[in-house]
Structure 1
Amino acid sequence: MSKRKGLSVDEKRHRMMEFFFEKKDFFQLKELERQCQKEKGITSMSVKEILTSLVDDGMVDTDKIGTSVYFWAFPSKASQNRKRKLEDLQAKVSDAENRKVSLMDAVAKAKVGKEESDDRSDILSRLSEIQGEKTRLEFELERYRECDPEVIEGLKQETKTAKEAANRWTDNIFSTKSWIKNKFCFEESVINKQFEIPEDLDYLE
């Protein structure tokens, strides 16, 4: 004989709500653990967990009186909650319908003057041709950009800056080689080989 399957969380929640609606009374946790197990088949160990989830969802009310904590849920409140939820959903549906109407009006207005016609097709075709011509001319302009006096002057300045930087680093290398020769008495050929410095390294003219 197969082992009986336990109740799911949803089944436990449903049965506990049934218990509250049937009893229409106030209960402490200990009472719920005992009676829910006896009458609804909810194990006493899971009563607190299920009860907490129902309280968190606003389905079961709770309050502390003195040192005791009581729990209760009446069918009237559940009915009110369902009614309120239904009203909220209806309001959302109404808002969505109004938004849909507004969007349809906006689309209709946006289409004004854009109806398909021979004139509109000709204008769009001409626009496409002009855009293609613009792209071609920009490409052609880029080809001749190298002949622009400003571009040439800019290249000259960049070349001068690069040359000065190269000579500055060459000077630094010569200074470093001189310091190494004086400090450690190395021959220049040994230094060049060790640091992979070309033998013909010299300043740019």
Structure 2
Amino acid sequence: MSRKKGLSVEEKRSRMMELLFEKKDFFQLKELEKMGQKEKGVTSMSVKDIVQSLVDDDMIDTDRIGTSNYFWSFPSKALHTRKRKLADLTKQVEEAKKRKSHNEALQKDAKQGKDDTEKRQCVLKELKNMKDKKGKLTAELEQYKDLDPKTLQEKSRQTREAKEAINRWTDNVFSLKSWCKNKFGIEESAIDKNFGIPSDLDYVE
């Protein structure tokens, strides 16, 4: 014996709306759970979620009176809601059609002058040749980069700064050697030997 198929969500929603349309009254959730199962075959455990989904879609009205929440829906309200939703959807469809027409017009304009003609093929070929030529010239120019005046000027600046730094450190070494010699009476040759200082250390001209 085959098992009876349960109701889908949409079927449950439809049956709960029918129940409220037929009763045309105000109910608490517990009352709807009992009536939904008894009169419409909607399990009481699913009534709460179904009713809430209908409230979210503005198909069922709800309000708190005292300590209890009441739910209701009349055919006139449902008809108004459906008409409003239909109007919104119709507006969206019209806007989508306008965007589609606009995009098609843009696409048509973009295709103009791009037909695969002999003239276009010649222009594309010429463009490719020019790009290839540009690439070769750029590569050739790169070979002479070191002779560029700006590059030479920058290298000159870097060399000058390096020279100043070397002479500054050389001056520091000489000062330190002199201090050690005067303070501790150490011979300069001994200082050079112990600290690995070249005997011909001198300033860079």
TM over 0.5: yes
Number of corresponding residues: 191
Change over 3 Å in CA distance of 1:204–1:26 after alignment to 2: farther
Q: Quick one: which amino acid aligns to residue 138 of structure 1?
A: T
Equivalence map 1:1-205=2 (5 Å) = 12-39=12-39, 40-43=41-44, 47-65=47-65, 69-165=69-165, 199-200=196-197, 205=204
Structure 1 residue 164, shift from structure 2 partner: 3.6
Structure 1 residue 53, shift from structure 2 partner: 3.1
Change over 3 Å in CA distance of 1:176–1:21 after alignment to 2: farther
Counterpart contact for 2:170–2:203, Cα < 8 Å: no
SS of the residue aligned with 1:21?
helix
CA distance in 1, matches of 2:60, 2:176: 85
- Percentage identity across aligned positions? 50
Instruction: Calculate the TM-score normalised by the size of structure 1.
Output: 0.68
Which consecutive unaligned segments of at least 5 residues does structure 1 have?
Answer: 183-187, 193-198
RMSD: 4.0
Instruction: Calculate the TM-score normalised by the size of structure 2.
Output: 0.68
Q: Deviations over 1:143-187 (max 9, x none)?
A: 1011223312211211232344456567778999989xx9xxxxx
CA distance in 2, matches of 1:8, 1:166: 86
Q: Quick one: which amino acid aligns to residue 120 of structure 1?
A: R
Partner of 1:185: none
SS of the residue aligned with 1:156?
helix
Change over 3 Å in CA distance of 1:13–1:200 after alignment to 2: farther
CA distance in 1, matches of 2:55, 2:133: 71
Q: Deviations over 1:33-62 (max 9, x none)?
A: 433343334326x54444333222212101
Which consecutive unaligned segments of at least 5 residues does structure 2 have?
Answer: 184-190
